[in-house]
Amino acid sequence: SIKVTINGIVVEAQPDDTVLLAAQRAGIKIPSLCYLKGVNDPAACRVCVVEAEVNGVPMRNLPAACVLQVQEGMNIRTSTGKVRKAVRKNLELILANHDRDCLTCVRNGNCELNKLCEEFGVDQVPYDGAVRERHIDDSSYSIVRDSGKCILCGRCISTCKNVQGIGVLDYTGRGFNTRVAPAFEYGMRDIDCIYCGQCIVSCPVAALKEKSNIDQVWEAIDDPEKFVVVQTAPAVRAALGEEFGIAIGTAVTGKMVAALKQIGFDKVFDTNFSADLTIMEEGTELLQRVTKGGVLPMITSCSPGWIRYCELNYPDFLENLSTCKSPQQMFGAVVKSYYAETFQIDPKKLVSVSIMPCTSKKTEANRPEMEVDGIRDVDFSLTTRELARMIKQAGIDFLSLHDEATDSVIGEYTGAGVIFGASGGVMEAALRTVADILTGEDLDDIEYKECRGLEGIREASVTLPIEGRDTEIKLAIAHGTANAAKLLESIRSGEKNYHFIEIMGCPGGCINGGGQPHISARKRMELDSKALRSAVLYAEDARLPVRKSHMNTEIQKLYSDYLSEPCGHKSHKLLHTHYQE
Ligand code: HC1
Ligand code: SF4
């Protein structure tokens, strides 16, 4: 290791550390806006400048700590008058070309620029010239891009290109008029964006945000003619609390249900229920494909970002996709058929709302094929962040809420449904059911640990008795579309073959979806939010009395009273879909 001195403290650093990282390990915070751990280090914002000398010789200018490599004998000062003045000046320059309507900004309260301006005492913007032309693109169902808020840090560009392997955003224009935009300034609707929202969660300001549907949902709740039901995705409970100051990695399931009831939803359900339903359908589909010579590997179809990625980039794999709709859509279809019939509610008066950790779910809910006999499965899909805003608008004191439970007859769920929200969870949930069905037993060994973790691509195999013969079933899991591409290439080339694959569009799965609460770049250096949020779901699974989808009694009743059997005629009409080339 290398010894450097930072603000008089001797710090042990690794040879390839930057000064920013070495300082962070020593508990010294250096401000920064463009740096994002593991994603972006372009020295674009120049807010992380420091004074540096090596063996007593001062370095020229003020180097940026995010790209400055540590050297033996380096002496760094992070808060001299010269540094503070430079930081303030750079912040002022950023503000000069930034829309400053902070009071009406969706990031008010968690804007990283605002926070630094406060910390550095920026109390005026002395540059009063022309500002960049503002362009707001709300052409897609999912994402709004506002060039007036953009500070050109490049975090979204790097995330889209490097993390997701997509690259639809880039710098365009020159000098003062530089902007971040899709090529030829196309609208977000018209490009190969998969609406994953990873660019939103990496944005330090409000240049990227979800397209909000809060107002339509309030309107439906206020309308006495409407019966408004809500479902919450598995991953929401693992992160919603963060919006109310609760530590990352804390479950708020019961409070979330209580808040939804106070907001005024007529019934509160859980997407975990339809995650269990998905396992019944998808598990059956897998067994049919394996025994009847269907297309293999079968690939999961719950993640709409992944589905769009596949449609746009790997159409030769469309036959491999499970025909199952996602749990979000299955839930909507069941609410407007089975539930409506059971309680004799006119499906036209039913409004089905979902709370998702995802921005792509908004686009999925609006896909033309996501309806049955002209009735939409899901009318409005909100992000976790939007739900937090509704809770605040309703004046609910979230922290003091008492836990409440979901409504019946489509509200029960098992541990298998809960873990859908973490990468590998759908695979593990499916194995629990498929193994029981094939062995005819109620197996105790249900924690498939090889499915868990955050490695980008994971492989596993299980041996199961299929048609009287012990058969090895080969499995793979990928999360984040860059990893999905790698996995698909290895299958295309013939290097690998599998029976069953889980792919989620976002790195880490839904717990790290593009609709989840923002985590500042600084926080991301300190903790692993993906691991912490995933742990919430695995802990909830372990606590639940029933942990296998086929043992969900309300799912059993749904089949006996209504659907008859998995992958039967009614299921195909309500719960399965097709894909677009
Ligand atoms: Fe997901 Fe899914 S797990 S896709 O990540 O299959 O969004 O949480 O709701 O639909 O269940 C998201 C999460 C979610 C679906 C389920
Ligand atoms: Fe790229 Fe995803 Fe953002 Fe679209 S939503 S621009 S694919 S990161």
CB of 294 within 8 A of CB of 287? no
Distance (angstroms) between ligand 2 centre and the Cα of 307 equals 14
pLDDT at 41: 75
- Residue 230 neighbours by CB under 8 Å, 6+ apart: 260, 265, 267, 268, 269, 353, 354, 355
Distance (angstroms) between ligand 2 centre and the Cα of 78 equals 35
Distance (angstroms) between ligand 1 centre and the Cα of 394 equals 26
Same domain, 457 and 533: yes
Gap between the Cα atoms of 545 and 446, Å rounded: 13
The first and second tokens of residue 45, run together, are 């914002």
Q: Strand, helix or coil at 70?
A: coil
Looking at the domain assignment, is residue 88 inside a domain? Answer: no
* Residue to substitute in 231, 282, 328, 575 for testing ligand 1 pocket (most ligand atoms within 8 angstroms of CB): 328
Please, what's the largest Cα pairwise distance for the chain?
82
Name residues of the chain where pLDDT drops below 50: none
pLDDT at 425: 98
Gap between the Cα atoms of 7 and 55, Å rounded: 15
- Residue 418 neighbours by CB under 8 Å, 6+ apart: 234, 272, 275, 425, 537, 540, 541, 544
Same domain, 334 and 452: yes
pLDDT at 429: 98
Which run of H or of E encompasses 501?
strand 500-504
Distance (angstroms) between ligand 1 centre and the Cα of 233 equals 5
Q: Which of 369, 455, 472, 526 is catalytic?
A: 369
Gap between the Cα atoms of 320 and 307, Å rounded: 11
Is residue 285 part of the annotated active site? The answer reads yes
In angstroms, the Cα distances linking 94 to 14, 114, 201, 224, 279 are 32, 11, 20, 48, 50
Looking at the domain assignment, is residue 86 inside a domain? Answer: no
Same domain, 22 and 115: no
Looking at the domain assignment, is residue 53 inside a domain? Answer: yes
Looking at the domain assignment, is residue 517 inside a domain? Answer: yes
Looking at the domain assignment, is residue 476 inside a domain? Answer: yes
> Considering the entire predicted model, what is its pTM?
0.97
Same domain, 63 and 110: no
Distance (angstroms) between ligand 2 centre and the Cα of 389 equals 23
Domain end (from 50, 79, 108):
79
Gap between the Cα atoms of 11 and 2, Å rounded: 8
pLDDT in tens, 435-473: 999 999 999 999 999 999 999 999 999 999 999 899 999
Ligand nearest to the CA of 382: 1
159 pocket-lining for ligand 2 (C-beta < 6 Å): yes
Same domain, 263 and 334: yes
Closest-lying ligand 1 atom to the alpha carbon of residue 304: 4
Looking at the domain assignment, is residue 85 inside a domain? Answer: no
Number of domains in the chain: 3
Q: Which of 282, 386, 412, 428 is catalytic?
A: 282
Is residue 506 part of the annotated active site? The answer reads no
Return the amino acid letter for 327.
P
Is residue 243 part of the annotated active site? The answer reads no
Closest-lying ligand 1 atom to the alpha carbon of residue 303: 4
**Which domain CATH number covers 35?**
3.10.20.740
199 pocket-lining for ligand 2 (C-beta < 6 Å): yes
Gap between the Cα atoms of 417 and 64, Å rounded: 46
Same domain, 190 and 75: no
Domain end (from 189, 210, 231):
210
Q: Can you give 137-180 as a three-state secondary structure string? A: ECCCCCEEEECCCCCCCCHHHHHHHHHCCCCCCEEECCHHHCEE
Gap between the Cα atoms of 356 and 224, Å rounded: 25
Q: Is the peptide bond before 205 cis (omega within 30 degrees of 0)?
A: no
180 pocket-lining for ligand 2 (C-beta < 6 Å): no
Gap between the Cα atoms of 54 and 58, Å rounded: 6
330 pocket-lining for ligand 1 (C-beta < 6 Å): no
Residue 292 is classified by DSSP as: H
Looking at the domain assignment, is residue 248 inside a domain? Answer: yes
Same domain, 308 and 268: yes
* Residue to substitute in 137, 143, 201, 361 for testing ligand 2 pocket (most ligand atoms within 8 angstroms of CB): 143
Is residue 302 part of the annotated active site? The answer reads yes
**Which domain CATH number covers 486?**
3.40.50.1780
Residues constituting the chain: 581
The residue contributing the CA closest to ligand 2 atom 2 is 196
Same domain, 206 and 219: no
Angle of the 384-393 helix axis to the 214-222 helix axis, nearest 10: 50
160 pocket-lining for ligand 2 (C-beta < 6 Å): yes
pLDDT at 294: 97
The residue contributing the CA closest to ligand 1 atom 11 is 275
Same domain, 196 and 259: no
CA 73 to chain centre: 43
pLDDT at 70: 96
Gap between the Cα atoms of 52 and 61, Å rounded: 9
Distance (angstroms) between ligand 1 centre and the Cα of 272 equals 8
Is residue 196 part of the annotated active site? The answer reads no
pLDDT at 381: 98
CB of 107 within 8 A of CB of 206? yes
pLDDT at 577: 98
Residue bearing tokens 């593991």 = 38
Same domain, 471 and 548: yes
CB of 257 within 8 A of CB of 405? yes
Same domain, 318 and 342: yes
Distance (angstroms) between ligand 1 centre and the Cα of 192 equals 22
241 pocket-lining for ligand 1 (C-beta < 6 Å): no
Q: Identify the domain containing residue 160 by its residue range.
A: 94-210
Q: Which of 302, 324, 358, 567 is catalytic?
A: 302
CB of 511 within 8 A of CB of 238? yes
Structure ipTM: 0.96
Same domain, 154 and 277: no
* Residue to substitute in 240, 279, 326 for testing ligand 1 pocket (most ligand atoms within 8 angstroms of CB): 326
Looking at the domain assignment, is residue 581 inside a domain? Answer: no
418 pocket-lining for ligand 1 (C-beta < 6 Å): no
273 pocket-lining for ligand 2 (C-beta < 6 Å): no
* Residue to substitute in 210, 278, 281, 303 for testing ligand 1 pocket (most ligand atoms within 8 angstroms of CB): 303
CB of 148 within 8 A of CB of 107? no
**Which domain CATH number covers 183?**
3.30.70.20
The residue contributing the CA closest to ligand 2 atom 4 is 193
Q: Strand, helix or coil at 534?
A: helix
pLDDT at 293: 94
pLDDT at 368: 97
Gap between the Cα atoms of 79 and 8, Å rounded: 12
Q: 170-172 and 179-181 as β-strands: parallel, antiparallel, unpaired?
A: antiparallel
Domain end (from 53, 79, 105):
79
